[in-house]
Amino acid sequence: MNRQLVIGTVLFCAAMAVLLFLRLLPLSAGTARLPGPDLGLCLALAWVLRRPDQLAAPVIALVFTLQDIILFQPLGLWPAIVLIGTEAARLREARWRDGPFMVEWLRVAVLIGMMMLGYRVIQVLFMMPVPALGQVILLFVATVAAYPLVVLAARALIGLRRINPAQAEQMRVAQ
């Protein structure tokens, strides 16, 4: 197995475990509050767009499935949508690599919006409990707003940077 893949997988799983732990902490005294951003989704998209060679699709599916189990969410629906979204981003990574960050942020915002819309449509079609539209919109805005901060934190704390053209060529030859 590739050393970079193992390192990336371990770092991603550790970062997701920390995010899940922070999400489970009782930070409020029972008061209603605004929905926070989905930092795990931001991290997965940032990782796939910066180091697609370090994060395998089954790892993403497993981590988000475990998150569904721990948070008592509908099992498998959100992980499937996240997997489809991250793989769509992975396929476009080579074309998005040389663009400015603002364009990446806009593309990620559209992708997150499509993922959340798809999730909501499937919930409605299968008559699952659907959260209020206002809450979903606030979650979308918070997640999109948090994306640059997650990218900055991943770069500072984990050293997650975009691959350079030589590394991209090595990845292409290795496949």
């489809």: which residue's tokens?
84
- Number of structural domains found in the chain: 1
Residue 49 counted as domain residue: yes
Span 63-87, average pLDDT? 93
78 in any annotated domain: yes
- Kindly state whether residue 172 falls inside one of the protein's structural domains: no
CA-wise closest residue to 80 among 92, 72, 88? 88
pLDDT at 65: 96
Distance CA 17, CA 107 (A): 27
pTM, two decimals, is 0.89
Specify whether the CB–CB gap between 40 and 19 falls below 8 A: yes
Within-domain flag for 134: yes
The pLDDT value given to residue 53 = 84
Is 170 within a domain? Answer: no
Residue that the structure tokens 């799983």 belong to: 13
- Is residue 55 packed enough to be buried (19+ CB in 10 Å), middle (13-18) or exposed (0-12)? buried
pLDDT at 115: 97
CA distance 97 to 99: 6
- Is residue 171, in this structure, part of any structural domain at all? no
With respect to residue 120, please indicate whether it lies within any of the assigned structural domains: yes
Contact 77, 129 (CB under 8 A): no
Q: Which domain holds residue 146?
A: 3-22+36-164
Residue 10 has which token pair? 């371990």
Degrees (nearest 5) of the Cα angle 14, 20, 22?
A: 105
Flag whether 88 is in a domain.
yes
pLDDT given for residue 168 in this prediction: 63
**What is the model's pLDDT at position 165?**
67
Distance CA(117)–CA(138), nearest Å, equals: 13
Range of lowest pLDDT (28-42, 104-118, 134-148, 159-173): 159-173
pLDDT score at 30: 61
